[in-house]
Amino acid sequence: MNVLKEANFNFEGVKNVYHGKVRDVFDFGENVLMIASDRISAFDVILPRAIPCKGQVLNQIAAKYLKATQDIVPNWLLATPDPNASFGIKCETYPVEMVIRGYLAGHAWREYKSGKREVCGVSLPDGLKENQKLPNPIITPTTKAKEGHDIDISREEILLQGIVDEAEYQELEKYTYALFQRGTEIAAKEGLILVDTKYEFGKKHGVIYLIDEIHTPDSSRYFYVDSYEENLNNDLPQKQLSKEFVREWLIENGFQGKDGQKIPLMTDEKVNEISDRYIELYQKVTGENFVPANNGDICERIEKNVNAFLSN
């Protein structure tokens, strides 16, 4: 399987390199180059097997949505020199992730099912069903961990601890609601429901920028419109395009990222299934055919394309 597991490059002018769970970030001082690898993480743990085409899917969906939302908030992206690479403005990152939910699914549902009626300081009424649409979208932020699990936090705690200035946090909330609304509208045109997602923001020269990726299967959850109501009414699982099916498979096999738990073996069949789901999401979300770019030496291609871009 032709995959990009780690980006080890020596580009001219690089001051520092950071290897994240999924992306490898090359710091050029005023700018950064993000290379989307084919690594996959779940429960904040990097799984042993990489997924063919995953990095390309993430990179290209993010680039498309960043362009489609640049009228709402400035974003970091300046160019995509390679199907797996994005180049843009280096910002000082806000240490919170703005998670927004339109439906009760995933982590929020697991919390609700356990008996909790408050998620990140947001109260939820009794009697809600899994995957039910919420009366209004809610923001359930998390602190952004350098390692390990991101931690749920309330708006009140963020302000009380001075993690983000109140005026700036209000701006982040405003942008989050507007981006979610735009993402919802675009998804609906393709027969999808944007269930929940997360946004990350940074700041440079006093300006707030949207950074990282948006509306990809790693950061978002999508349901299919045509089967949503029937499945909800019959208490059936929703057909969804997201990474949640990977989490569910891990849970079924006894892994939730907790101490002492062993990551289950991911067969070639499972790896290909996950790859196919990522490609399906790309085609559904964008309305475009996916053209794999991993039919040669991926590292050689990225190095050639990025060096050509940097030399211009």
pLDDT computed for residue 145 by the predictor: 62
Q: What does the pLDDT look like over 257-287, one tens digit per residue? A: 898 999 999 999 999 999 998 898 899 989 9
Other C-beta atoms closer than 10 Å to the C-beta of 173 total: 15
pLDDT computed for residue 146 by the predictor: 57
Rounded to whole angstroms, the Cα distance separating 184 from 180 reads 6
DSSP at 258: -
pLDDT computed for residue 239 by the predictor: 86
Determine contact, residues 42/149, Cβ cutoff 8 Å: no
pLDDT > 70 fraction of the chain, expressed in percent and rounded: 98
Q: What does the pLDDT look like over 286-295, one tens digit per residue? A: 999 999 998 8
Rounded to whole angstroms, the Cα distance separating 128 from 119 reads 14
The 3-state DSSP class for residue 256 equals: coil
Q: What does the pLDDT look like over 119-168, one tens digit per residue? A: 999 999 999 999 999 999 999 999 976 555 578 999 999 999 999 999 99
Rounded to whole angstroms, the Cα distance separating 217 from 124 reads 26
pLDDT > 90 fraction of the chain, expressed in percent and rounded: 85
Rounded to whole angstroms, the Cα distance separating 299 from 188 reads 36
Rounded to whole angstroms, the Cα distance separating 102 from 181 reads 10
What's the whole-model pTM score? 0.89
Determine contact, residues 112/125, Cβ cutoff 8 Å: no
Q: Which candidate, 62, 39, 36, places its Cα nearest to that of 51?
A: 39
Q: Binning pLDDT at 50, 70 and 90, where does residue 247 land?
A: confident
pLDDT computed for residue 241 by the predictor: 79
Could you tell me if residue 229 is left (phi over 0), alpha (psi between -120 and 50 degrees) or otherwise beta? alpha
Q: Which candidate, 208, 180, 206, places its Cα nearest to that of 194?
A: 180
The 3-state DSSP class for residue 109 equals: helix
Other C-beta atoms closer than 10 Å to the C-beta of 291 total: 10
Rounded to whole angstroms, the Cα distance separating 172 from 185 reads 20
pLDDT, greater one: 144 or 44: 44
The 3-state DSSP class for residue 89 equals: strand
**Which helix (H) or strand (E) is 310 found in, with range?**
helix 298-311
Which residue reads 């040669």 in tokens?
296
Rounded to whole angstroms, the Cα distance separating 213 from 59 reads 7
**Mean of the per-residue pLDDT values for the chain?**
93
Rounded to whole angstroms, the Cα distance separating 50 from 310 reads 28
Q: Which candidate, 221, 220, 225, 241, places its Cα nearest to that of 283?
A: 241
- Window from 84-88, 94-98, 187-191, 243-247 with minimum mean pLDDT: 243-247
Full set of structural domains in the chain with CATH: 93-242 (3.30.470.20)
Q: Write the single-letter amino acid at 180.
A: F
Q: What are the DSSP calls for 176-241, one per residue?
A: HHHHHHHHHHHHHHTTEEEEEEEEEEEEETTEEEEES--SSTTTEEEEEHHHHHHHHHTTPPPPEE
